[in-house]
């Protein structure tokens, strides 16, 4: 009798092991536990899987199934997001229409303008409460011609601390602007010929979050400053203007869906080591360099976006963004 009971016990343990280890892998369920305190007591699974692709994914989009954006439990930007543009020009003159076209781009993302179709890609990436990004408001612009770039000579390579310091300067000079961090505000910083990014051509980040909401920002350098950031050869407006707009979209979409990365890592919506064009990363990294089929459909092949504002067509050439629902890179969801 004891021998039979022993065998029954062994058999039961084996069944439990199969349920715990095999079934999650079979059905795509992650066994990794949510560690973020926002999930304490929650019955919502933060590790969502991409749905099956509704149709074959055309090249050069990476193999379906490896590019899923997963949610890692930290706060993201939701609802209406206020954008504050900081033109840190240090006395230099921007290219013609550079400032106005960047402002136009952010205005066009609004729900009352044509860019909302593109912005709606973000609707599928909610936080742990089910809230997601819905709209954009260009809430302020400021040009800083008096604060020098923090280098004594040559082209100044700016890092996160430099950009955050400039955001704080902008706050101090604009009493109507938010005076502190918030998940509702995004500060977009632009420089000209005297400065460049210390990491790539652009980046986004956030200030320390210990006890306070972070100050969330993005930085875009002028195309052509440094050999690694050349201006595009096809563009609907001006080469350096359209480069800045494209990189603005890249950094803003990533800041909205994953504002706190790289610390902690990963934080919001992120693909960890998938098969994307960047070998994993954030929503824009997975589609870097992809603009859709050529020739592009608008402005005689120079634009992949036509955002109608009133009676005017605003043309843009902006990279695709990753869509979990489409299991592909896309230029927008209706």
Average pLDDT of the segment spanning 261-279:
67
pTM: 0.80
Q: What is the pLDDT of residue 263?
A: 64
Q: What is the pLDDT of residue 309?
A: 84
Average pLDDT, the chain: 80
- Tell me the per-residue pLDDT of 213-244, one tens digit each, with 9 for 90 and over: 899 999 999 999 988 899 999 999 999 999 99
- Tell me the per-residue pLDDT of 137-160, one tens digit each, with 9 for 90 and over: 999 999 999 999 998 778 999 999
**Structural domains in the chain plus CATH codes:** 75-271 (3.40.390)
- Per residue, the 3-state secondary structure of the chain, as one string, reads CHHHHHHHHHHHHHHHHHHHHHHHHHCCCCCCCCCCHHHCCCCCCCCCCCCCCCCCCCCCCCCCCCCCCEECCCCCCCEEEEEEEEEECCCCCCCCCHHHHHHHHHHHCCCCCCCHHHHHHHHHCCCCCCCCEEEEEEEEEEEECCCCCCCCCCCEEECHHHHHHHHHHHHHHCCCCCCCCCCCEEEEEEECCCEEECCCCEEEEECCCCCCCCCEEEEECCCCCCCCCCCCCCCCCCHHHHHHHHHHHHHHHHHHHCCCCCCCCCCCEEECCCCCCCCCECCCHHHCCCCCCCCCCECCCCECEEEEECCEEEEECCCCEEECCCCEEECCCC
Q: Say whether pLDDT at 24 is over 60.
A: no
Q: What is the pLDDT of residue 25?
A: 31
Q: Say whether pLDDT at 115 is over 70.
A: yes
- Tell me the per-residue pLDDT of 303-318, one tens digit each, with 9 for 90 and over: 999 999 888 999 999 9
């Amino acid at each position: 009798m004891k021998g039979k009971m022993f065998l029954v016990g062994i058999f039961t343990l084996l069944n439990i092991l199969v349920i715990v280890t095999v079934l999650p892998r079979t059905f795509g369920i992650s066994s990794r536990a949510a560690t973020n305190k926002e999930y304490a007591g929650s019955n919502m699974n933060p590790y969502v899987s991409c749905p099956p692709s509704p149709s074959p994914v055309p090249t050069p989009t990476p193999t379906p199934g490896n590019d899923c954006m997963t949610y890692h439990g930290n706060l993201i930007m939701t609802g209406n997001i206020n954008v504050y543009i900081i033109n840190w020009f240090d006395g230099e003159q921007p290219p013609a229409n550079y400032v106005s076209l960047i402002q136009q781009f952010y205005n066009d993302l609004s729900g009352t303008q044509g860019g909302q179709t593109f912005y709606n890609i973000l609707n599928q990436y909610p936080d742990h409460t089910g809230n997601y990004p819905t709209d954009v408001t260009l809430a302020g612009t400021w040009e800083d011609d008096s604060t020098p770039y923090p280098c004594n000579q040559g082209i100044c390579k700016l890092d996160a601390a430099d950009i955050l310091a400039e955001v704080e300067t902008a706050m101090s000079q604009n009493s109507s602007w938010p005076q502190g961090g918030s998940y509702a505000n995004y500060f977009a910083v632009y420089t000209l010929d005297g400065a460049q990014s210390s990491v790539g051509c652009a980046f986004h980040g956030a200030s320390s979050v210990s006890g306070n909401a972070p100050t969330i920002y993005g930085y875009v350098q002028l195309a052509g400053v440094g050999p690694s950031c050349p201006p595009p050869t096809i563009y609907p407006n001006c080469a350096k203007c359209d480069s800045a707009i494209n990189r603005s979209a890249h950094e803003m979409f990533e800041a909205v869906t994953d504002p706190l990365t790289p610390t902690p890592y990963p934080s919001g919506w992120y693909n960890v080591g998938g098969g994307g064009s960047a070998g994993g990363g954030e929503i824009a990294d997975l589609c870097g360099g992809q603009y859709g089929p050529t020739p592009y459909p608008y402005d005689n092949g120079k634009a992949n976006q036509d955002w109608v504002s009133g009676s005017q067509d605003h043309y843009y050439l902006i990279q695709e963004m990753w869509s979990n629902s489409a299991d592909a890179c896309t230029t927008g969801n209706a």
